[in-house]
Structure 1
Amino acid sequence: MSAGFPPGGLPLDALPTPALLVDRARMEANLAAMAGSIGAAGVALRPHFKTSKCLAVARRQLAHGAIGFTCATPAEVRLLQDAGVEDVLWAHQPVGPAKVAFAVRALARGGLTIALDSLEVAVPLSDAAASSGVTVPFVLEVDTGLHRAGVDPDRAVETAGALCALPALEMRGVLTHEGHLAAHGPDRPGLEAAGDLAGRTLAQVAEALRAAGHECSLVSVGSTPGATSAPFAAGVTEARPGTYVYFDANQVGLGSAGIDQCAQTVLTRVTSAQRPGTVIIDAGIKAMSSDSVATAGSLGVVCDAEGGPLDGVEFAGGNEEHGYLTGPGTAGLRVGDLLRVVPNHACGTTNMWSELYFADGGRAVERHPIRARY
Structure 2
Amino acid sequence: MTELADLATPALLVDRTRLERNVASMAGAMRDAGVALRPHFKTSKCLEVARRQLDHGAIGFTCSTPAEVRLLQDEGVGDLLWAHQPVGPAKVAFAVEALRRGGLMIGLDSAESAAPLSAAGVTVPFLLDVDTGLGRTGVSPERAVETAVRLAALPGLELRGVMTHEGHLGSYGADRTGLEEAGTQAGRRLAEVAAALRVAGLDCPIVSVGSTPGATSAPFVEGVTEARPGTYVYYDSGQVRLGSATLDRCAQTVLTRVVSAQRPGTVIIDAGVKAMSSDGLAGGSLGTVCDPSGRPLEDVAFVNGNEEHGYLTGSGTARLRVGDLLRVVPNHACGTTNMWSGLHVLDDGRTVDRWPIRARH
The question of a shared fold, defined as TM-score above 0.5 by the shorter chain, is answered with yes
SS in 2 for 1:172: strand
Unpaired segments ≥5 residues, structure 1: 1-8
On the 8 A contact 1:250/1:294 being kept in 2, the answer is no
Q: Who is 1:98 aligned against?
A: 90
* RMSD, aligned CA: 0.9
CA distance in 2, matches of 1:74, 1:60: 22
The amino acid that maps onto 2:268 is I
Pair 1:160 & 2:152 matched:
no
Q: Who is 2:9 aligned against?
A: 17
Per-residue deviation, residues 12-71 of structure 1 (Å, max 9, x unmatched): 111110000001111111111111111121100010000011111111111111110000
Q: Who is 2:110 aligned against?
A: 118
CA distance in 2, matches of 1:257, 1:178: 18
CA distance in 1, matches of 2:97, 2:232: 31
Q: Who is 2:293 aligned against?
A: 306
On the 8 A contact 2:166/2:210 being kept in 1, the answer is yes
Pair 1:351 & 2:338 matched:
yes
Q: Who is 1:5 aligned against?
A: none
Alpha-carbon distance, 1:273 to partner: 1.4
Per-residue deviation, residues 175-208 of structure 1 (Å, max 9, x unmatched): 0000011111110000000000000110010011
SS in 1 for 2:158: strand
State how 1:127-138 maps to structure 2 within 5 Å.
Answer: 127-128=119-120, 130=121, 134-138=122-126
On the 8 A contact 1:88/1:112 being kept in 2, the answer is yes
On the 8 A contact 1:46/1:67 being kept in 2, the answer is yes
Runs (4+) of structure 1 moved beyond 4 Å?
Answer: 292-295
The amino acid that maps onto 2:91 is K
Q: Paired residue for 2:187, among 189, 199, 214?
A: 199
Q: Who is 1:54 aligned against?
A: 46
Per-residue deviation, residues 143-165 of structure 1 (Å, max 9, x unmatched): 10111101111111111111111
CA distance in 2, matches of 1:317, 1:147: 28
SS in 2 for 1:21: strand
On the 8 A contact 1:294/1:345 being kept in 2, the answer is no
Per-residue deviation, residues 231-284 of structure 1 (Å, max 9, x unmatched): 000000000000000000100000000111110000001111122111111101
Q: Paired residue for 1:247, among 214, 221, 235?
A: 235
On the 8 A contact 2:261/2:321 being kept in 1, the answer is yes
Alpha-carbon distance, 1:292 to partner: 5.2
Alpha-carbon distance, 1:294 to partner: 5.4
Alpha-carbon distance, 1:215 to partner: 1.2
CA distance in 2, matches of 1:234, 1:120: 32
The amino acid that maps onto 1:201 is R
Q: Who is 2:139 aligned against?
A: 151
CA distance in 2, matches of 1:183, 1:300: 18
Q: Who is 2:28 aligned against?
A: 36
Q: Paired residue for 2:68, among 62, 76, 81?
A: 76
Q: Paired residue for 1:340, among 321, 327, 330?
A: 327
SS in 1 for 2:12: strand
Q: Paired residue for 1:272, among 256, 260, 277?
A: 260
Q: Who is 1:220 aligned against?
A: 208
Q: Who is 1:6 aligned against?
A: none
CA distance in 2, matches of 1:186, 1:145: 19
CA distance in 2, matches of 1:228, 1:41: 10
State how 1:285-300 maps to structure 2 within 5 Å.
Answer: 285-291=273-279, 295=283, 297-300=284-287
On the 8 A contact 1:181/1:195 being kept in 2, the answer is yes
Q: Who is 1:89 aligned against?
A: 81
Unpaired segments ≥5 residues, structure 2: none
The amino acid that maps onto 2:78 is E
On the 8 A contact 1:126/1:166 being kept in 2, the answer is yes
Pair 1:369 & 2:361 matched:
no
SS in 2 for 1:348: helix
Q: Who is 1:3 aligned against?
A: none
State how 1:165-184 maps to structure 2 within 5 Å.
Answer: 165-184=153-172
CA distance in 2, matches of 1:339, 1:266: 8
SS in 2 for 1:257: coil
On the 8 A contact 1:91/1:115 being kept in 2, the answer is yes
Percent of matched pairs sharing the same residue: 75
